[in-house]
Structure 1
């Protein structure tokens, strides 16, 4: 199967952990699951780090160590996961855990659920588990209007299915074209050589979830709309500064957005499954559909214009079955033609787009792992032919942006992180002015 490994970093005043995933080139059509005896000592790694380097810059030591894992193959003779314990203080935590796991074991949502089942809410009873927000309806839900709504409402309901069918055909056409030949223009965000191996660097920055929600409420949109708009604004800021392109050129690029296909499931149900070993009660493994999401590099005088554009694009994607059909096609293709053919299809789709974008919701309370309070969770992925992967992970009142990137293409990656923070501040200020103006009117 395709080599995908995941890493998760969680940190706290006492503890930290990072969550990390890898795609690779090798594929094995005859790979299958088998029961095995797990020797925990084989999976717990405590590295010896240079004390002088730790004293000089402990954050850099953690960054370099996590980056080195992207070049370190996993042992095929044992289960494909390991924990790396970095017992050194950083500005955010007293220690760090790096959890690396092969993506064949599960996608981000199932791995996050598995990780969270091991946590407890701080200062609560030992049996308290953290809650995880879940989807409350189907991915596409278009309820039929009541007869009392009138003929116009019924006609609009019927027309919505024509729109759904048309959008789905267009989107699937673009998906097929992307796999076969349709390629994004080469910019600083796109890797030139898709087959060349690149060691990944993982960096992150805290953003205010309250500020994101303020923008969401003022703009009457979703958190995802704000985050897509924020990403477009930050990348535009970075691009026009570094390319020295003084024209207000509008460049359309595309990202791949994975979408969780599982039905709504409470975290407590995962806990019950693990404790009772009833494997069929929840869906583990990989259950992802995919959306090809366009985003634009352009200059806007109004920072909220990026959010308006993102909302328009995402609303259009909600009127399509692209995510459901890509999920079904991927499963059928893998079963019919084998894992190698499936891996090739995925790689071509990733190689022909500019980046991967994802967002996951984390605990709303402070949690602890084996008695250690967790400061943050930072999931990411490596091994796919993308020079840049943008991931957002919420935890309590913070949302963390995590970048998985090729350091040779982004030597000033800290400036890129600054662009995310500064773009959010500009959006928040504009939203505050808009809200004040609306109240005054």
Structure 2
């Protein structure tokens, strides 16, 4: 066991995620073809890279100065495995039962700090496992990659899954001339000034207009409901192909904009102004994301190198519109918005602002400002690229991969993960604000279907 002199400080973002106002746990669910037993889980964990990583065998310690550190300990895997051998509740719909179980975890079940901050829940009767990892241990993409090192390809049980590295989209069409470079630089400066100014204002007083889906201070403690919207990756690719240089993220935001408009028409059609701005918050990974094979080599060389959370915040607005005859207009508007956001340094500078506030004013002030940004916006969104091929864990085929996080002051939190041609989006809602989240999920699914049908007619 390490002594106090061997303790490692948390990263600034890690300190942010352990503050009460911005406390975050990632809950990742693997659906399985058959139930997995505790001995199979124990064997997978014992052989995994995950428990070899120092963060997964370290306690969270607060020193006399109030600063958080990691302290290495000898890990007892059995303390991290929680077995639920019997049905969680009565009913025939496993998906709904599992979603309800996770929804409860997002509000009322913190991780115990007397052991490293992760757990594996085995829901035997519902043929799934839930991996709970504190966000202070790392950013979402790295944690999902680390989890997938415990899996194998279904058609080759000796090989780990394939995940392509995330790379920036090239939308410039080749090298730019001098004039184009100057104009691009001016756009970068202009968009950066606008978006960083708005980000600062969101942390102080600027807020979205109130709608039936708006959250706010204290909403993170309200009871939650979790539902799943299901998309086809091929459908999303088909839709993006009809709009020049569009990406899957553009399609996702077009779907969210259209789906929210449909849902708001359902809930309050006579009380909204066309063009109403509804702002989302996205965490942006600022560290280059390796593919899974590169990730494994990095872990073997030095498990602690470059680890932690290096994330910025990007505010992504969508707009309420009624009676839109061309559903692809939602995609085109989303693409235009995301293109301008990518031209700016908003994500990088939001990270730098957070670092500055953390260093000179402390974690509590930084947490308060981040909490305020969330209270003044309307939803959270993330999209993680998963394996393209089918995978197994302990030799058992994985039927789905889904993830969500701890509840936030937002009324809606959305996390999409793609896997083997499917893209499942977990929609976590405050059910006192959104009593019919199944309707919201259908609105998103209908939005993509309408875009696809319209694209096929072009």
Partner of 1:33: 70
Pairing partner for 1:420 from 441, 444, 456: 444
TM-score w.r.t. the length of structure 2 is 0.84
**Is it true that 1:66 corresponds to 2:102 in the alignment?**
yes
Matched residue SS, 1:183: coil
Equivalent positions of 1:265-344 (< 5 A) are 265-280=290-305, 283-299=306-322, 300-344=324-368
1:294: how far off?
1.0
* Equivalenced residues, count: 409
Deviation digits for residues 366-393 of structure 1 (CA, Å, limit 9, x no counterpart):
1111211111111111232111012221
Q: Is the 8 A contact 1:356 1:388 kept in 2?
A: yes
Which residue number in structure 2 is paired with residue 190 of structure 1?
214
Partner residue of 2:189 out of 153, 165, 186? 165
- Segments of structure 1 that go 5 or more residues without pairing to the other structure are 18-26, 90-94, 146-152, 435-441
Single out whichever of 362-371 and 239-248 deviates more from structure 2: 239-248
Q: Does 1:8 find its partner at 2:28?
A: yes
Name the CA shift for 1:195/1:432 in 2 (closer, same or farther; >3 Å).
closer
Counterpart check, 1:109 vs 2:109: no
- The alpha-carbon deviation at position 331 of structure 1 amounts to 2.2
Confirm or deny: 8 A CA contact 1:261 1:289 kept in the other structure: yes
* Residue in structure 1 matching 2:248, options 223, 227, 249: 223
Q: Is the contact made by 2:219 and 2:410 (CA closer than 8 Å) also made in structure 1? A: no
Deviates more, 1:66-75 or 1:243-252: 243-252
1:108-187 paired onto structure 2 within 5 Å? 108-126=140-158, 128-136=159-167, 145=176, 153-187=177-211
Question: Is contact 2:254-2:331 (8 Å) kept?
Answer: yes
TM-score, normalization: structure 1? 0.87
User: How much does 1:160 deviate?
Assistant: 1.2
Deviates more, 1:105-114 or 1:195-204: 195-204
How big is the alpha-carbon RMSD for the aligned residues of Structure 1 and Structure 2?
2.4
- Within a 5 Å distance, the mapping from 1:220-259 to structure 2 comes to 220=244, 221-245=246-270, 249-259=274-284
Q: 2:80 matched to 1:43?
A: yes
CA offsets 1:124-173 (integer angstroms, 9 cap, x no match): 151x122212234599999864xxxxxxx311211211111111111111
Q: How far apart are the structure 1 equivalents of 2:457 and 2:173?
A: 35
C-alpha displacement at 1:192, in angstroms?
Answer: 4.5
User: Contact 2:85–2:125 (CA<8 Å) still a contact in 1?
Assistant: no
1:261 aligns with 2:286: yes
Aligned-pair CA distance for 1:417: 1.0
In structure 2, relative to structure 1, the CA distance for the partners of 1:61 and 1:155 (3 Å cut) is: closer
Structure 1 contact 257–293 (Cα < 8 Å) conserved: yes
Q: Deviations 1:4-60 (Å, cap 9, x if unpaired)?
A: 11100111323699xxxxxxxxx9741111101211111111125458x43544333
Within 1, Cα distance between the matches of 2:136 and 2:206? 28
Kept in 2: contact 1:240–1:246 (CA 8 A) = no
CA shift in 2, pair 1:356/1:247, >3 Å: closer
